[in-house]
Structure 1
Amino acid sequence: MSKKWVAKRITVNLALEEKRKLENYCAMTGRTATDVVRELLRSLQVESEASVRG
């Protein structure tokens, strides 16, 4: 049985320089902004995910 992947759309407000930086990085690496943001989120260090969930 395969896992079902559920997507949730979010909106992120960026300063103009942040937007340019993201666009330049994406152009240089050939990756989408979505992929870059997902990788950055996955790389965040969280002390205890259980404490965040309650």
Structure 2
Amino acid sequence: MNKKWAVKRITINLALNEAKNLEKYCDQTGRPATDVIRELIRGLATTRSE
């Protein structure tokens, strides 16, 4: 199956400890940072509570 993605590229600045935490997590899980970040973004609550 061939997935086609509509892509929007973003750049983020991380503090050194944040970058190290992400790298350590990726090393431990064997997952790339892009997958980890996408999963975290998908888990964000997007409903507005007024």
Q: Normalized against structure 1, the TM-score is what? A: 0.77
Q: 2:24 aligned with 1:32, yes or no?
A: no
Provide structure 1 residue ranges, at least 5 long, that are not aligned to the other structure. 49-54
| Stretch of structure 1 that moved more, 26-35 or 2-11 | 2-11
The count of corresponding residues between Structure 1 and Structure 2 is 47
Higher helix share: 1
User: RMSD over aligned Cα, in angstroms?
Assistant: 1.7
* TM-score normalized by the length of structure 2: 0.82
Structure with greater Cα Rg: 1
Provide structure 2 residue ranges, at least 5 long, that are not aligned to the other structure.
Answer: none
Query: Structure 2 matches for 1:4-23, cutoff 5 A?
Result: 4-23=4-23
Identity of aligned residues (%): 60
